[in-house]
Amino acid sequence: MKPYTMDFDVKARDFSSAGESSSKFRKTLLMLSIPSDIVRRASIAAYEAEMNIVIHSYGGKMHFEIYSDKIVIIADDTGPGIKDLELAMKEGYSTAPKEVIEMGFGAGMGLPNMKRNVDNMEVVNHDESGTKIVMTINF
């Protein structure tokens, strides 16, 4: 079956619209009567990924695929990548600048929180050409 797909451009450092694509994605999941615990987990994972693109990257895209039995979330940006992925996966490790931390983000919980909310998370690429993360939630 062909999935229902959604695509959004995410601008770097645009904090006023940061989270808009995750919010639209969540509304679509609710409209499709996806179970509420799945909606919550998918929305949190998407929002953390989107915030990462806004905070850390030169800009990127969020891509969503909604199937009858699973949701696939793909966060894909244009760089500069993640230097030390193992460190970035640790709770509390952050490279976020001060002004981002003052906004309530950059606590070093993004990647671990994404992983916690999905059934599978794969960092497909994280070199300087960009970071691509594919997350799947089954239901």
Partner 1 sequence: MKLEEVKEILNAEVLCGHDRLSEEVNTACGADLMSDVLASKDEKSLLLTGLTNVQVVRTAEVLGDIVCIVFVRGKKPGPEILKMADSASIVIMKTDYPLFIACGLLYKNGLDCGSEF
Q: DSSP letter at 55?
A: H
Binds partner 1 (CB under 8 A): choice among 22, 52, 57, 131: 22
Stretch 55-94: interaction string toward partner 1, x if CB under 8 A: ----------------------------------------
Binds partner 1 (CB under 8 A): choice among 18, 73, 133, 137: 18
In angstroms, the CA 17 to CA 21 distance is 9
Interface with partner 1, residue 52, by CB under 8 A: no
Is residue 46 within 8 Å of residue 20, measured between CB atoms?
no
Q: Helices (H) and strands (E) in the chain — how many of each? A: 5, 5
Using the rule CB under 8 A, give the single segment among 23-31, 63-71, 80-88, 123-131 that binds partner 1. 23-31
The least CB distance from residue 129 to partner 1, in Å, is 27
Interface with partner 1, residue 48, by CB under 8 A: yes
Classify the C-alpha dihedral 38-107-76-14 as positive or negative.
Answer: positive
In angstroms, the CA 14 to CA 55 distance is 9
Nearer to partner 1, 2 or 104 (CB): 104
Interface with partner 1, residue 53, by CB under 8 A: no
Q: What tokens does 100 get?
A: 């981002």
Binding to partner 1 (CB under 8 A) within 103-122 occurs at 103-110, 113, 116
In angstroms, the CA 49 to CA 62 distance is 8
Q: What tokens does 37 get?
A: 């615990």
Using the rule CB under 8 A, give the single segment among 6-14, 39-47, 61-69, 118-126 that binds partner 1. 39-47
